[in-house]
Structure 1
Amino acid sequence: MTATSASTPSAGHGSAAPSAASVTDQFAEITSDNASLRRFLHGLPGVDQVGLEARAASLSTRSIKADAKARLIDLAISMVDLTTLEGNDTVGKVRSLASKAVRPDPTDLSTPSTAAVCVYPDMVATAKAAVGDSGVQVASVATAFPSGRAALEVKLADTRQAVEAGADEIDMVIDRGAFLSGDYKLVFDEIVAVREACRRVDGTEAHLKVIFETGELQTYDNVRRVSWLAMMAGAHFIKTSTGKTQPAATLPVTLLMLQAVRDFRLQTGHMVGVKPAGGIRTTKDAMKYLVTVNEVAGPDWLNPDWFRFGASSLLNDLLLQRTKLSTGRYTGPDYISID
């Protein structure tokens, strides 16, 4: 299993991304009203819970040779969205985190940078200055994260604040209450509106990750439905969780979302990324997810443009395992920075 670039070009963060209309127009009739959306979403094939969980369990037992593991560890590092989303975040903490994202292991300059550093909107400018021209993206949560309980005007203002401060990526949360109540049109329209708020005056836009909080969605069928809903609304990524509730990311849920993006690409020609977040803490966990990506969606998704890990502690374990593979010695966690 090797990482490859996607055959469908990514809309780079610094260039004009495809218009949301290029995706949503294909589904204009389906998304015109709540009744039509409900018919489509409830017409999707039902999820075989036993089969889904059995396949996830089977994929998680795949063995990986040492040379392949070394490459996959570097790939996993490059896919991490290094995250701090706490009420006690300080300028110093964010600067430290951004420095670690750019240079995860200062003693080994061959270690790849992470994909992004993820912060609250008020810390975007600090993170942006700290990463400089390293290529590390700055992501910001928005839309009344983590609850999503706010008026649309507040959610859009939250998004615009982050984008104007320089955010390359926006992680929004859906209104789970509206979704569970069957108000699919409200959720769809909010995603469309937030993506429009991601657009800059020069015509480029911050990439939009749509967070489902899958642990609150009750059924696998709902995960499949919300995945299609977000993709039809123009999401660049679909994301499992905020990391603030349990259960967060799970392998069966991620497998189901990978099936959704694969099927969406087959139908529309558009690739959408996947980001499991919360609870992925070890290299062993990360390897299970990468095997699942390769087997379910395909090697095109083995790329930070299309797959991310929302994690904080995962990076440290990846660095420890990387050192062990390269030196034969296990470095204690005290030698890896916490932030």
Structure 2
Amino acid sequence: MTIDTLTAGALARNLVGGDVTDANLRRYLEGIPGIDAVGLEQRAASLGTRSIKTTSKAWALDRIIQLIDLTTLEGADTPGKVRSLVAKAMVPDASDPTTPRVAAVCVYGDMVGDAVTALGASHGDPDHGGISVAAVATAFPSGRASLAVKLADTADAVSAGADEIDMVIDRGAFLSGRYGLVYDQIVAVKEACRRADGSFAHLKVILETGELNTYDNVRRASWLSILAGGDFIKTSTGKVAPAATLPVTLSMLEVVRDWHRLTGQKIGVKPAGGIRSSKDAIKYLVTVAETVGEEWLTPHLFRFGASSLLNDVLLQRQKLTTGHYSGADYVTID
């Protein structure tokens, strides 16, 4: 369920102890205990060594597919490429009708209409068999634009039919301690996600963790994004290295766990960028299950932002079924 702006604002005021000002946010965020980096990395490494049995692997491969935001975010994207992406999202493996669909397709805002049209009757809630359309916005990937431009970018994508908005935070403002500015911009973008009927498109807040430098900054940015009303926190744009890593995602999951214990609200997490193999994706599934619980392994609470991951999952799935890998032409080239 999407968090509305009034509820988010009331919770934020309650937690920071007054109006959500720069000073109150700084006091609250900088009062959060620091992360033991060595301990975090050791726990992530330990979770990454867990093995699963063949029957569980079959379930895991299907679940990975169901959690993918199949993505194309290139300057050379065309309506034809988006239609091809949607066709693959709807029928990932034409030779196996039991293959599940992905959760969403993720495109630039000006491609949303093409994605919606191509999906047709398949456009809908991924928790009920549909495929959502996610759009990157707010001057993705840099975020270097005026607030007016960011809001227009968001509203345009929502009006074109985007179900989800992936926004980027102002990393420069965050790193210079201007937490109030980052908070206010997220709140404003969340309001721009409001549809004509009063409902909201889901808001995923991209932290761009590769530019935040420390786990403590990742934790603070995660808390700040949730306080401002983000429905998901997302690691990366995929345009900056390093992108998603298991320790960073673990630190974000721990924030989501603590927020749920504090408020009862469930916030989603989306690692994006650099997750290309089934083996790596399974590590993330294990980390989610062990940190926040298996109930988070649903499209409305966890996603993989990926373009090539689906191909490897399809190959592994076929190997599990037939005992051998298919040739290189078994999957489409992205």
- TM-score normalised to the size of structure 2? 0.96
The question of 1:170 aligning with 2:158 is answered no
SS in 1 for 2:314: helix
Aligned to 1:301: 296
The partner residue of 1:112 within 100, 103, 114 is 100
1:257 paired residue among 252, 256, 268: 252
Matches within 5 A, 1:1-339: 11=1, 17-28=2-13, 30=16, 32-134=20-122, 135-339=130-334
Distance 1:300 1:45 in 2: 27
Q: What is the alpha-carbon distance in structure 1 between the residues aligned to residue 200 and residue 328 of structure 2?
A: 39
Per-residue CA deviations over 1:118-160 (Å, capped at 9, x if unaligned) read 0001100000111122210000000000000000000000001
Give the counterpart letter for 1:237 in structure 2: F
Query: Contact (CA 8 Å) 1:320, 1:333: kept in 2 or not?
Result: no
Partner of 1:4: none
The residue identity in structure 1 corresponding to 2:221 is V
Secondary structure, aligned partner of 2:28: helix
Specify the SS of the correspondent of 1:114: coil
CA apart distance, 1:103 = 1.0
Amino acid at match of 1:140: A
Q: What SS class does the counterpart of residue 121 from structure 2 fall into?
A: coil
The CA deviation at 1:20 is: 1.9
Q: Distance in 2 between the 1:103 and 1:185 partners?
A: 44
Q: Is the 8 A contact 1:320 1:332 kept in 2?
A: no
Partner Cα distance (2:332, 2:308) in 1: 10
- Between 1:280-289 and 1:130-139, the stretch displaced more is 130-139
Identity of paired residues, percent? 65
Q: Which residue is equivalent to 2:127?
A: none
TM-superposed deviation, 1:297: 1.1
Q: Distance in 1 between matches of 2:273 and 2:218?
A: 16
Shift of 1:21: 1.7
SS of the aligned residue for 1:132 comes to: helix
CA–CA distance in structure 1, aligned partners of residues 165 and 8 of structure 2: 19
Structure 1: distance between partners of 2:307 and 2:71: 6
Q: CA deviation at 1:23?
A: 2.5
Instruction: Structure 2 unaligned segments of length 5 or more: list them.
Output: 123-129
1:79 deviates by 0.4
Post-superposition CA distance 1:81-125 (Å, at most 9, x none): 000000100111000001101111111111110000000011000
One-letter amino acid of the counterpart of residue 61, structure 1: T
Alignment RMSD: 0.9
Q: Distance in 2 between matches of 1:186 and 1:338?
A: 41
Equivalent AA in structure 2 for residue 273 of structure 1:
G
Q: 1:170 is paired with a residue of what secondary structure?
A: strand
Structure 1: gaps spanning 5 or more residues? 1-10, 12-16
Separation in 1 of the partners of 2:179 and 2:94? Answer: 47
| In structure 1, C-alpha distance between the alignment counterparts of 2:190 and 2:327, rounded to whole Å | 43
1:59: how far off?
0.5
Stretches (4+) displaced over 6 A = none
Q: Which amino acid aligns with 1:130?
A: A
CA–CA separation in structure 1 for the residues paired with 2:88 and 2:298: 20
Answer yes or no: is the 8 Å Cα contact 2:102–2:131 preserved in 1: yes
SS of 2:177's partner is: coil
